[in-house]
Structure 1
Amino acid sequence: MAKNEIPIPQKQKAVIYDHPGRISTKVVEIDVPEPGPGEILINLTHTGVCHSDLAIMMKTWKNLPYPTQPGQVGGHEGVGRIVRLGPSTESSGLKIGDRVGIKWVWSVCSNCPACFAGLDGICFNHKVSGYYTPGTFQQYALSPANYATPIPDGLSSADAAPMLCAGVTVFAALNRSKALPGQWVVISGVGGLGHIACQLASRGMGLRVIAIDHGSKEVLALESGAEHFVDFAKLDEDSITGHVKALTGGMGAHAAVVCTAANAAYAQALQLLRFNGTLVCVGIPEGDRVAIGGAAPGAMISKHLTITGSAVGNRFEAIRALEFAERGIIKAHYEVEKMEQLTDIFERMKQGTLRGRVVLDLS
């Protein structure tokens, strides 16, 4: 064994999607991969579970280029330590024992127009962890050395895992909202992304937050920094609009960030904005195409409204999100489970009974 090399088994435990198209996972034993040129091997200790993993397993996103195959290892929020460096990784500055993370975007080409603009999430040649590549629902995973995210020393691996998707996603989305300190932002959907968005907006960016979700999420929203909470189950669309306008001095919010995939959230979002407001689309609706209510040219022109999308974030935004987490400004509300519980976790996610996130202990 070479100096500083860590013993690595030949086999590992992983969770696969054994029947894509329905909620079903299976713990199996697979080979530990060998890193190729430019790659590192990470011994993962924790990984987050995201609604995107559910969509990939269920094959409900119509924009994916091919069906999810049986045997796919999902997951894209993995944290662990480097145990082997592949060839041609010297320039990365990484070393064995470093703690790093794997994100939704597993790799980018760094050479396309989107990459030049810092838009990693829409790189023309990007690969998605847990879909294009074996993901983080396994004990050992590969990552490009130049795209692994360093984990701050003051942040636990369990706390870091959700930040690699939910954290960076809402950080990028709030930046794209162009809302300034003291201005109003509506966070629609207080789930895995939304509760972190409430924290970051209120405590990290000085925004005034109105959260919208089912009444069961009210305590989580207010604990996460929302100034006001609107229960959509108690009000119709017009009443929600009127209530938000009343809370904001009759004007409406400066920005709205839709963190949920619910069609109803997109149907009402534009109505919540004041003049020059920005709607940021984050949650990806499943199934048929969804219309954004009120997006008629006349209304858009008369109020100078902006609709923009935000696909995760770039490498720098991921590092910034982790810095906010290390400082205690944002923290995911999560429970820790073993990988054997993944099917049950997805069932609860589908039913909408999860509060916050789930992090898998992969030991």
Structure 2
Amino acid sequence: MGSVDIPSKQSAAVREGTGESAKAPVKQIDVRMPGAGEILIKVNWTGLCASDKSLIHDEWKDFGVAMQDATKGIAGHEGAGVVVAVGEGAESRWKVRSTGTDEVHCTAQKNSGFSAEGTFQEYLVADARYSSKIPDGVKDEEAGPIMCGGVTAYVACKRSSVKPGQWIVLPGAGGGLGHFAVQYARAMGMRVIAIDGGDAKRDLCKKLGAEVFIDYTATSDIAAEVMKVTGAGAHGVLVTAATKQAYDMAPGLLRPNGTVVVVGLPKDPSVVAGAPPIMMALRRLNFVGSVVGSLKDVEEALDFTARGLVHPILSKGKLTELDDFMEKMSKGQLPGRAVLQVAA
């Protein structure tokens, strides 16, 4: 095992305040060394996910979801970097060199940035069993977003049950999750109908592999347009847009036996995914939820990038710009996925 000089102090973005006015300025905090079964990761890049903003700004408090004390005010869950220390019992899997974090429905799970310290810091202690090795050919700034947004889109495509050659509709296709979904769906052989607004989103979605683009700002009847393209409706709709309009529209885009995959998480608790019972019954529609993925899913999602099939569109900044990036995210001013450089 190699040796690395590890400082006693590090920079971390630590939440101050609550609600919409909360900030996360960078401060100096102690570096914690790994215990048994843990590794210490020097975080080179971290993604900024919409869920990070939601937790820092208490947007999900009506659902009883909030940052827990164990986070010490440090959010973030899309970190990638190098392993610089290995705790007792983790030596067989890890050497001092590689990186990232997450399993899905363990009742005792700890989630980075929600119930454990997050990736908005230079040195992160992580459970060695649930950290993912980044394959050669994948950059750290790509890997972070792929291990959250990427695997979320990839698993959602799988849960749609759409087969190669069949149609999938992606509302919000030009967004952080949506632009991943376009690429994974295309790489999996699906025929992609992208829905978003404006020429810039049209160009992006077509460049990423969408066969058809529907501009919701210029189309009066989106369902009719989908029926015109597909003949009988799409086989699946993957809703990444966290809006009432997207969820209300989704079932009307499906053919019989079609599936809506619920991915986008609106902060309004009154938004419901579903359809009138008679519509669901007569057309035998399916509604399934999807959230991130297993270690195996993460490995598969990263492999698409290692093979050159999926690449995130990145808006890059530094950890010190976290508050500015959250404000831009709220205003829809960040193309693709946001990533922040942590370690110099």
TM-score scaled by length of structure 1: 0.90
Correspondence for 2:26: 27
Correspondence for 2:6: 8
Measured in 1, the distance between the counterparts of 2:65 and 2:312 equals: 31
1:156 aligns with 2:139: yes
- Mapped contact 2:47–2:340 kept (Cα < 8 A): yes
Correspondence for 2:182: 198
1:85-124 to structure 2, matched below 5 A, reads 85-91=86-92, 93-97=93-97, 99-102=98-101, 105=102, 120-124=103-107
Correspondence for 2:226: 244
Cα shift readout 1:36-94 (whole Å, capped 9, x = no counterpart)? 11100011111111111111111112334445669511111101111111122234x21
Q: CA deviation at 1:358?
A: 1.4
Q: CA deviation at 1:25?
A: 1.9
Measured in 1, the distance between the counterparts of 2:121 and 2:337 equals: 18
Cα shift readout 1:72-118 (whole Å, capped 9, x = no counterpart)? 11111101111111122234x21112x1112xx4xxxxxxxxxxxxx
Shifted more, 300-309 versus 18-27: the winner is 18-27
1:124-273 to structure 2, matched below 5 A, reads 124-189=107-172, 190-202=174-186, 204-215=187-198, 216-236=200-220, 239-249=221-231, 251-273=232-254
User: Do the aligned partners of residues 67 and 341 (structure 1) sit closer, same or farther apart at CA in structure 2, a change above 3 Å counting?
Assistant: closer
Shifted more, 6-15 versus 122-131: the winner is 122-131
- Select which of 271, 274, 280 maps to 1:290: 271
- Mapped contact 1:59–1:68 kept (Cα < 8 A): no
Measured in 2, the distance between the counterparts of 1:32 and 1:246 equals: 58
For 2:59, give the aligned amino acid. Answer: T
Cα shift readout 1:167-197 (whole Å, capped 9, x = no counterpart)? 1111110000000000000011121110011
Measured in 1, the distance between the counterparts of 2:78 and 2:273 equals: 30
For 1:328, give the aligned amino acid. Answer: G
Matched-pair identity in %: 40
For 1:101, give the aligned amino acid. Answer: G
Q: In structure 2, the residue corresponding to 1:121 is in which secondary structure?
A: coil
RMSD after superposition = 1.6
1:326-337 to structure 2, matched below 5 A, reads 326-337=306-317
Q: CA deviation at 1:234?
A: 2.4
Correspondence for 1:18: 16
Structure 2 spans left out of the alignment, 5+ residues: none
Measured in 2, the distance between the counterparts of 1:234 and 1:24 equals: 37
Correspondence for 2:330: 350
Q: In structure 1, the residue corresponding to 2:202 is in which secondary structure?
A: helix
Q: CA deviation at 1:26?
A: 0.3
Give aligned pairs, total: 338
Q: In structure 1, the residue corresponding to 2:28 is in which secondary structure?
A: strand
Q: In structure 1, the residue corresponding to 2:42 is in which secondary structure?
A: strand
Structure 1 spans left out of the alignment, 5+ residues: 106-119
For 2:273, give the aligned amino acid. Answer: I
Measured in 2, the distance between the counterparts of 1:292 and 1:83 equals: 44
For 1:354, give the aligned amino acid. Answer: L
Measured in 1, the distance between the counterparts of 2:276 and 2:119 equals: 42
Measured in 2, the distance between the counterparts of 1:67 and 1:100 equals: 24
- Mapped contact 1:57–1:68 kept (Cα < 8 A): no
For 1:347, give the aligned amino acid. Answer: E
TM-score scaled by length of structure 2: 0.94
User: Do the aligned partners of residues 171 and 313 (structure 1) sit closer, same or farther apart at CA in structure 2, a change above 3 Å counting?
Assistant: same
Correspondence for 1:279: 260
Correspondence for 1:360: 340
For 1:305, give the aligned amino acid. Answer: L
For 1:319, give the aligned amino acid. Answer: E
Cα shift readout 1:181-229 (whole Å, capped 9, x = no counterpart)? 0000001112111001101111x11111011122242221111111111
Q: In structure 2, the residue corresponding to 1:196 is in which secondary structure?
A: helix
User: Do the aligned partners of residues 282 and 29 (structure 1) sit closer, same or farther apart at CA in structure 2, a change above 3 Å counting?
Assistant: same
Measured in 1, the distance between the counterparts of 2:49 and 2:67 equals: 19
1:64-75 to structure 2, matched below 5 A, reads 64-66=64-66, 72-75=73-76
Q: In structure 1, the residue corresponding to 2:63 is in which secondary structure?
A: coil
For 2:308, give the aligned amino acid. Answer: G
Q: In structure 1, the residue corresponding to 2:237 is in which secondary structure?
A: strand
